[in-house]
Amino acid sequence: MNKRAHTYNGVLLVDKPSGITSHDVVQRLRKLLDQRRIGHTGTLDPLAQGLLVVCLGSATKIVRFLTGWDKTYEADIVLGRSSKTFDSEGIDSSEPHQTPPELTKSEIEKLLDQFRGKIVQRVPAYSSVRVGGQRLYDLARRGTDVTPPSREVEIKSLRSLSYESPHLQLNVTCSKGTYIRSLANDLGDAIGCGAYLAGLVRRSVGGLHLEDALSLDQIDQRHTEGKLRDYLLPCHRVLDFAAIRVTDDFSRRVLDGCDLSETDIMHIDGSFEAGDTILLKDRGGVVLAVGTAEAPSHAFSCAKGNSLFEYVRVLN
């Protein structure tokens, strides 16, 4: 079989195991599938497990449009000890352990209230964020004194699942850029006994869920059986933006980056404002391009002679 015959194009949901990096997953898939064009849409720390959204082949063109989705996690936070990495890797066993306080449900809720909504969060010193062109974890390992940056993130949902001292189990839905490790550390500071992230499972990314993901062994098996394509999501199933369906004639001209006019439009799916990210789709719903709306959807029918769509990425 030639290489083109078994090239995969689509979005694959992977159940990442703990103990390897997201880059390791991509490298394993490249070797397993004999395919170079593979990329993921959001890193999981090595100790974390769960949903990793991976784009294959032509779907790598949409990676940039999938990185901003909200994510949901289940976190196991251990109270009573701090960590320089904010997780179990950075525990110093010589440091004394503090006995966590007894916490009632109402006390836990009051504690969690401090972290719901938009908050300013400090990036972990051991992270891949760059400061002065260098990764923070490289600076930290060399003992370089540097203050990690802070950023505003949004904790959209924060629920206590259980508390059996010293383990506090949480369900967290948060915006792009949120570090659950930092949340664990900050909770420990707020309680006054220290805390670190002992385990993390990513349950969902946007509307994609871990229950629909395949393990690396399952991917290997489906690939060997010639059934892996049945588990790939096409771009139009994943890109959650309003869309303009265009005529067959204009569909053939999208590759040339032709200007969109009101006469090329068959239908508008959803609503949008000028500046929003939107899709161009063909009659059957296949995504042809991703771009920016140059006018609000309600004004498209009367935008004669005006620019309507600015191309960002052509997919077909």
Q: Which amino acid is at 197?
A: L
Could you give the CA distance from residue 268 to residue 301 in angstroms, rounded to a whole number? 10
Mind spelling out the 3-state secondary structure of 238-271?
Answer: HCCCCEEEECHHHHCCHHHCCCCCHHHEEEEECC
Q: Which amino acid is at 47?
A: L
Could you give the CA distance from residue 106 to residue 61 in angstroms, rounded to a whole number? 47
Q: Which amino acid is at 113?
A: D
- Please say if 248 is a catalytic residue: no
Phi/psi of residue 313, each to 5°? -150, 125
Q: Which member of 15, 24, 34, 45 is catalytic? A: 45
Active site residues: 45
